[in-house]
Amino acid sequence: MTKRMIIVLALCVLVFGAVFGGKAFMNVQMNKFVDAMPVPPATVSASAVREMTWDNKLEAIGTLVPVNGADVTAEVGGIVTRLMFESGQKVDKGAPLVTLDSASELGELNRLKATAELSELNRQRREKLFKLEAIAKSDYDAAVSESNAAKAAIQSQAALLAKKDIRAPFAGQLGIRKVTVGQYLQPGTAIVTLQSVDPIEFDFDLPEQYVGVVQPGFKVAVSVDSYPDIAFDGAVLAIEPRVDVATRNFKLRARMPNPDRKLTPGQFGRVKLELPGERHLLVVPRTAISYSSYGSAVFVIVKKPPPAAGSEPEAESKPMPGMPPMTKTDLMVAQRFVKLGEVRGDFVAVLDGLKPGEQVATSGLLKLRNEQPVVIDNSIQPGQDLNPKPAES
């Protein structure tokens, strides 16, 4: 009985060993077959690395700001008795805008004037007595001080009364009125916004590498979305003498005329800043750049290296049943990281990593990997224009 069981177990081991061994052998042979299969080439379009001469311009974004701009407010409280402006009106400096109730302040001013007149008469009498040596010098000094204090009180009250008449602090254009007649205004309440928009200014930032390159007086051209076909010309007015430690940028302010008031404070704009001279750069189409968290890279098209001496020649690929034959090619791609510069139109400047005349893939980048065989088909090329415009329908 024991001998029979040993024989059965031995047979089971042989059977299962043969099954699993055969399976492992088939897997090994399958992996060898797959590894030996040639990688099918990918079809891409290609473009040469070109040398271009670009005018020396910098592009940035920024915000339009007024030369003078403020919310007109009330310095003192009071009831609005008169409004002397309309929303959107243009006003000159000092133009009256709002009058507040000033009856109590005017009455106090008249009382102080009467007190000042009495103090002045008292001073004159004391002066005569002092000249006659009828009073001490201290009595005369007290009368002079009392008269001066009364005059100062008049000036203070007159200034308070003047604040009841609110005037434009500078020439400009008013916004939307925010108060009505009969409304009580607390001190600091906004009445209307006043903006001086001709000329107008534009604030923008540049990277710290241009510190010392940009100077006041350099020409700028600003464009806004509301007038896409118009460039508003101006010049750099001032440069911030420090670099922001958080962004490593520095601020600039340009000023431009705005007689038609097409530009409005707060608008987003794009600026082109002209620098002296020209730049000679290597450029590639923007579609040739592959962006990743590791950096920017391109796929350079190169010739396949010849097989090493003594190595087996590459097996000729045989198509699968029902499949077209594989295209032969002696080209492949090599991924190369590059340092990019300015982007202009359909091109991007390459500061480091490429040489003039090298071929780079410009389409089909998602299906490429390092040393991937490729076939070039330039029948359809991505756009390559320095100043592209949307196609008209």
Cα distance between residue 165 and residue 105, in whole Å: 12
Confidence of residue 301 (pLDDT cuts 50, 70, 90): very high
| Residues 279/54, Cβ–Cβ less than 8 Å | yes
Name the DSSP letter for residue 177: -
For 109-120, how does the pLDDT look when each residue is reduced to its tens digit (9 = 90+)?
Answer: 898 889 888 888
In this structure, are 179 and 81 located in the same domain? yes
Q: Spell 247-270 as b/e; 16+ CB within 10 A means b.
A: eebbbbbbbbebeeeebebebebb
In this structure, are 86 and 180 located in the same domain? yes
Residue in the structure block whose two tokens are 């409004």: 83
315 in a domain, yes or no?
A: no
CATH code of residue 222: 2.40.30.170
The mean pLDDT of 39-56, rounded to a whole number, is 86
Query: Quick one: tokens of 374?
Result: 């490729």
User: Which domain-ending residue is among 249, 279, 309?
Assistant: 279
343 in a domain, yes or no?
A: no
In this structure, are 234 and 222 located in the same domain? yes
Cα distance between residue 77 and residue 191, in whole Å: 12
In this structure, are 219 and 273 located in the same domain? yes
Cα distance between residue 178 and residue 185, in whole Å: 11
Q: Spell 134-148 as b/e; 16+ CB within 10 A means b.
A: ebeeeebeebbebbe
In this structure, are 206 and 151 located in the same domain? no
Q: Is the pLDDT of residue 215 over 70?
A: yes
| Residues 49/358, Cβ–Cβ less than 8 Å | yes
Considering just the CA atoms, what is the radius of gyration of the chain in Å?
Answer: 42
377 in a domain, yes or no?
A: no
CATH code of residue 183: 2.40.50.100
88 in a domain, yes or no?
A: yes
51-55, 110-114, 231-235, 320-324: the lowest-pLDDT one: 320-324
Q: Is the pLDDT of residue 271 over 90?
A: yes
199 in a domain, yes or no?
A: yes
Q: Is the pLDDT of residue 160 over 50?
A: yes
Cα distance between residue 374 and residue 376, in whole Å: 7
| Residue 24, SS3 per DSSP | helix
Confidence of residue 393 (pLDDT cuts 50, 70, 90): very low
Give the pLDDT score at 200.
93
Q: Who's near 238: CB < 8 A, 6+ residues apart?
A: 216, 252, 253
Expressed as residue numbers, the domain containing 81 is 76-100+167-188
Confidence of residue 359 (pLDDT cuts 50, 70, 90): very high
In this structure, are 121 and 267 located in the same domain? no
In this structure, are 275 and 201 located in the same domain? yes
Give the pLDDT score at 136.
85
The count of domains in the chain is 3
220 in a domain, yes or no?
A: yes
127 in a domain, yes or no?
A: yes
In this structure, are 199 and 262 located in the same domain? yes
Query: Quick one: tokens of 317?
Result: 């690929």
Cα distance between residue 331 and residue 346, in whole Å: 26
Cα distance between residue 264 and residue 200, in whole Å: 8
In this structure, are 112 and 137 located in the same domain? yes
Secondary structure tally for the chain: helices H, strands E: 3, 21
Which pTM does this prediction carry?
0.61
How many Cα atoms sit within 13 Å of 224 on the Cβ side?
A: 15
User: Which among 191, 208, 174 has a CA at the least distance from the CA of 89?
Assistant: 174
Confidence of residue 4 (pLDDT cuts 50, 70, 90): confident
In this structure, are 200 and 275 located in the same domain? yes
The mean pLDDT of 206-221, rounded to a whole number, is 90
In this structure, are 178 and 96 located in the same domain? yes
Q: Report the Cα 178 to chain-centroid distance in Å.
A: 32
> What is the identity of the amino acid at 128?
K
User: Which domain-ending residue is among 279, 313, 344?
Assistant: 279
User: Which domain-ending residue is among 222, 254, 279?
Assistant: 279
In this structure, are 107 and 249 located in the same domain? no
Confidence of residue 390 (pLDDT cuts 50, 70, 90): low
Rounded mean pLDDT of the chain? Answer: 85
Confidence of residue 308 (pLDDT cuts 50, 70, 90): low
For 309-349, how does the pLDDT look when each residue is reduced to its tens digit (9 = 90+)?
Answer: 655 555 555 555 555 565 678 888 999 999 998 888 889 99
Q: For the range 145-154, what are the long-range contacts, defined as Cβ-Cβ under 8 Å and sequence gap of 24 or more?
A: 146/119, 146/122, 147/116, 147/119, 147/120, 147/122, 147/123, 149/119, 150/112, 150/115, 150/116, 150/118, 150/119, 150/120, 151/116, 153/112, 153/115, 153/116, 154/109, 154/112, 154/113, 154/116
Give the pLDDT score at 232.
93
Q: Is the pLDDT of residue 32 over 70?
A: no
CATH code of residue 141: 1.10.287
83 in a domain, yes or no?
A: yes
User: Which among 261, 260, 216 has a CA at the least distance from the CA of 236?
Assistant: 216
Give the pLDDT score at 42.
86
User: Which among 203, 262, 204, 253 has a CA at the least distance from the CA of 232?
Assistant: 262
